[in-house]
Structure 1
Amino acid sequence: MLSLAERALSDLRSELEESSAADAVLRQELRRAVAGARDANQEVEAARELVEARESVVAQVELDLLRLERSASAIEKLSPFDFVVCPRCMQRLEGRPVQEDHCIVCLQHDPPDESVDPAAIQQTREALERQLQDAQAVREADAQVLAAARDRVQQADFLTTTLRRELDVQTRDIVAPRFDAIAGSSARVASLRASIDAVTQLRDAWARARSINQEVKDLKATRTRVQTDVKSRTLALAARGQLVDDLSQEFFTLLAELHLPWVQTAVIDPKTYLPVIDGNPFESLQASGGGITTCVSIAYSLALLEFGLTHPDVLVPSLLIIDSPRKALGNNPDDQERGNRIYDRFKALADAYGDRVQLIIADNDTAPIPSDTFSTIPLDYNRPMVPGVVHPGPEHVHRAEHSYEA
């Protein structure tokens, strides 16, 4: 429809151009006059912007000159005075400490001598006055250019108006019958173009709406998957939390078997997975040291070891190395009995799990249980090394394991 309307409008214009061949020369002159008027208007606009810029420069220079005059006047009038009171609040200034080369009123650095030198101020004033004269001269020249451009615009507008009137007089009888048709065709073309633009915008809006709708669907699907994942992970977390509770129970049971009268409550912290004894965190127990820390550490290690053996999904090493479990327990009968219970627990683990668990215990005394329960490697001054590990000698400067790694 737009193509048909544009073709009809083009046909009407072609007919009009063909019927007015006699005034082609006048039309050509009119086109040149219109182009000249357009160029002249552009020159006027450019000249006007240039004049405005020159006026800004002149105003700035005048402002700088006025600022200089005010500064010079202030310096001339106030420099002879030696203030002893503040000119604002009238408080005295003699007792206030002021650094050298600082103003006694505002406490700022004194300006350099060249900034208050009358000769320098006069030189600056003369330079600004020359700049002002130059800027005013340039502004006047640009103003003359603007005036000349406006004259050319007036001449071009007058010529254009005259040629249009002559053209209207010559083509009135030809243009009038087709004027309504051309106007109607132009309006139809404009209406069709506006309709196409509206349809295009509406199509883009619907495309955007479809894209947003798809994004919403994708987000809803993602939210459903995330919610499902959160639910499953929440259930898994709850199940794992039950594991921590079971480990706490086994840990407390093990401490009870060791007959520790000073322990009332014992749990595993679900956040740090470390023991909490009678409300005290494991770090405070370690700081105190002694038999309590030793028993708690051994019970905690044994509970983790056995829990990993009974729960395959809990990844805990099946190897446990304990150094001097009875060293910090003391020598009274209760302490020795407690050490025997610890070794009984070692034996119970070894008997229950066999090759599934490995216990390495370094102690100052032999185990207080039958000797066939554990494989024993005695170490003394004459045999200080594990069998199979050669002593490097007193002059050897490297650790034994480094030699074997090499």
Structure 2
Amino acid sequence: MSEKNWPVYNKQKAAFEIIFNFYDELIGELKNQFSIKQEEFKNEAIKLTGIQEFLKQSNVENYDTVDKRKKEIDLQIEELTQLLNEYKEKIKIDSANSMTQELEASVIKNKKERNAILSELADQKQYIQKLITLSNQYTNDIEKIDAAIMGVREINKYDFKLCPNCLQPLSTHKNSADCTLCGNSMENLAEQVIELKSEKRSINTKQNELEKHIVHSMSVRDELVNKTDFLTKKISQNERILTDLTESYVNPYLQEISFINLSLGKLYSENDELDNSLRFIKELNRLHLVLKEKQNELEDLKGQIDDQVVMNNKTDVITMLNVKFNEILEKFHFPKLSNAYIDPKKYIPYIRGRKYNDLGSLGAVTLLTVAYYLTILVEASSKEINSNHLNLLMIDTPSKNLGVSSKSTEFQDEEIFKSIISYFVELDKNMSSEIQLIVINNGYPDILPTKNIIKEFSSDGNSGLIDDI
């Protein structure tokens, strides 16, 4: 085959190698992925160990224990806060008189009023800044107009032979559509100067009005500043009077309030620590799940690598194929079966020590070819092998040159074709969920179950593949 039709032979050889993954690159990629996953697993394990050590040193048992303690602390904080408010209310009642109450109300009212004025003052300052920016823009526009007017006056002092705009001789370039300056008269330039002066007067008018508005806005700002200063002084005076009125008052609940504040501080501190512990516990649980997932990924990759190592052992693969090849030929009742194997270099089937198409019998070629591709299908579809086979095989006329159509006496036995169909039925029973086998043939033995017959065709052409399937 290789000598007579070497392109087909080389293609078949390459296809065979692809099916059984005889490539080291695949193992290399898997090992590289395995190394990356190992490093990820190692990093996550370091994090897990660190958190476990922290929780151990912090005497943190588990999530339920921490959560229970947090609820206890929240209840204690609520009780102490309520007690503290009660003491404050008692102090307020004991120390209150009409004058202090009025002063306290006045201070609160003045502070609210001052805050509102401060907000209005900030808005007013921002508004004045925008007005000043607009006035500066007007000044820049006026300076540009003055520069333009001065330029027109200066350029009129000279008699040009070349256009200062396009640099073409004026005598040959008048009224040009490509230049906006050529052909313009002095009267036109004068009109432009008049327009510029008119625009300048308009801008000056706007700027003067704007300056008046800026002065007014600044006066509003100054009034707001004065109001703020007045309220600040008033608040300071009232607070000073309040201090003088309450200075001689001795707080009878001072010790209890100090103790409550101290207890609250400790509880808040412990509560913060428990919050940190809860975060660490949640992270610890997350890392456990991550490590479990990483471990599964590593085991899966290791299994793939082990499978591919087996597949990359060409001798083992060929040995496995030869066992199945002989098994199938025996079930086909191949006459005088002996020395059947697949050549490990050419991937071609041999029997009786000869290449399959050198036996001189087309019936033998049919049996060997069907057995050869069935061997590849069955072994490539087994669970132990991770191959690239499609798990699909189509066989056209397996009865060709067998039975009455065979010219060789030893392949005229009808039991041979019957044994082939029997093997197909056996494959359907054992591997129907792993492979798909499509067989086209003229006729079949009675042993073929009806469920395996997809379609029958009539010899007169009334029932055909294209029309009826």
Provide TM-score, normalisation by structure 1. Answer: 0.51
Matched with 1:13 is: 88
Task: Give, in whole Å, the separation in 1 of the partners of 2:77 and 2:108.
Answer: 29
Task: Give, in whole Å, the separation in 2 of the partners of 1:344 and 1:72.
Answer: 116
Deviation at 1:163, TM superposition (A): 1.8
Deviations 1:15-68 (A, max 9, x none): 43223232x343333333333223323322332234224413532562475268
Task: Identify the match of residue 164 of structure 2 among 81, 88, 92.
Answer: 81
2:116 corresponds to 1:36: no
Instruction: Please list, as runs of the form range in 1=range in 2, the aligned pairs for 1:5-404 lying within 5 A after superposition.
Output: 5-7=80-82, 9-22=84-97, 24-59=98-133, 62-63=136-137, 66=140, 69-70=143-144, 73=147, 77=151, 81-82=164-165, 84=167, 132=207, 136-175=211-250, 177=251, 181=255, 184=258, 187-188=261-262, 191-192=265-266, 194-227=268-301, 229-231=303-305, 233-234=307-308, 237-238=311-312, 242=317, 249=344, 250-251=347-348, 305-310=370-375, 313=378, 315=391, 317=393, 319-320=395-396, 353-355=416-418, 389-390=459-460, 401=464, 404=467
- Tell me which amino acid in the other structure corresponds to 2:236: T
Task: Give, in whole Å, the separation in 2 of the partners of 1:13 and 1:351.
Answer: 111
**Number of paired residues?**
290
Q: Which runs of 5+ in 2 are unaligned?
A: 1-75, 156-162, 169-176, 181-191, 323-341, 359-364, 380-390, 399-405, 422-440, 443-456
Report if aligned partners of 1:2, 1:193 keep a CA contact under 8 Å in 2. Answer: yes
Task: Give, in whole Å, the separation in 2 of the partners of 1:190 and 1:306.
Answer: 86
Deviations 1:83-141 (A, max 9, x none): 659xxxxxxxxxxxxxx8599xxxxxxxxxxxxx7677667766766665565555444
Report if aligned partners of 2:458, 2:464 keep a CA contact under 8 Å in 1. Answer: no
SS at the partner of 1:173? coil
Report if aligned partners of 2:107, 2:235 keep a CA contact under 8 Å in 1. Answer: yes
Report if aligned partners of 2:350, 2:356 keep a CA contact under 8 Å in 1. Answer: yes
Task: Give, in whole Å, the separation in 2 of the partners of 1:310 and 1:101.
Answer: 86
Task: Give, in whole Å, the separation in 2 of the partners of 1:235 and 1:388.
Answer: 51
Are the structure 2 counterparts of residues 147 and 303 from structure 1 closer, same or farther at C-alpha, using a change threshold of 3 Å?
A: farther
Report if aligned partners of 1:318, 1:357 keep a CA contact under 8 Å in 2. Answer: no
2:457 corresponds to 1:405: no
Are the structure 2 counterparts of residues 235 and 63 from structure 1 closer, same or farther at C-alpha, using a change threshold of 3 Å?
A: same
Deviation at 1:158, TM superposition (A): 1.8
Task: Give, in whole Å, the separation in 2 of the partners of 1:125 and 1:171.
Answer: 68
Q: Which moved more, 1:150-159 or 1:239-248?
A: 239-248
Are the structure 2 counterparts of residues 48 and 179 from structure 1 closer, same or farther at C-alpha, using a change threshold of 3 Å?
A: farther
Q: Which runs of 5+ in 1 are unaligned?
A: 86-99, 104-116, 260-298, 323-342, 359-373, 376-386, 393-399
Matched with 2:54 is: none
Deviation at 1:150, TM superposition (A): 2.1
Deviation at 1:180, TM superposition (A): 5.7
Provide TM-score, normalisation by structure 2. Answer: 0.45
SS at the partner of 2:378? coil
Deviations 1:244-271 (A, max 9, x none): 9876644275995657xxxxxxxxxxxx
RMSD of the alignment, in Å? 5.5
Deviation at 1:160, TM superposition (A): 1.8
SS at the partner of 1:313? helix
Report if aligned partners of 2:321, 2:376 keep a CA contact under 8 Å in 1. Answer: no
Task: Give, in whole Å, the separation in 2 of the partners of 1:69 and 1:193.
Answer: 70
Report if aligned partners of 1:55, 1:139 keep a CA contact under 8 Å in 2. Answer: no
Q: Which has the higher contact order (CA 8 A, sep 6+)?
A: 2
- Tell me which amino acid in the other structure corresponds to 2:232: D
Are the structure 2 counterparts of residues 81 and 350 from structure 1 closer, same or farther at C-alpha, using a change threshold of 3 Å?
A: farther
Are the structure 2 counterparts of residues 145 and 403 from structure 1 closer, same or farther at C-alpha, using a change threshold of 3 Å?
A: same
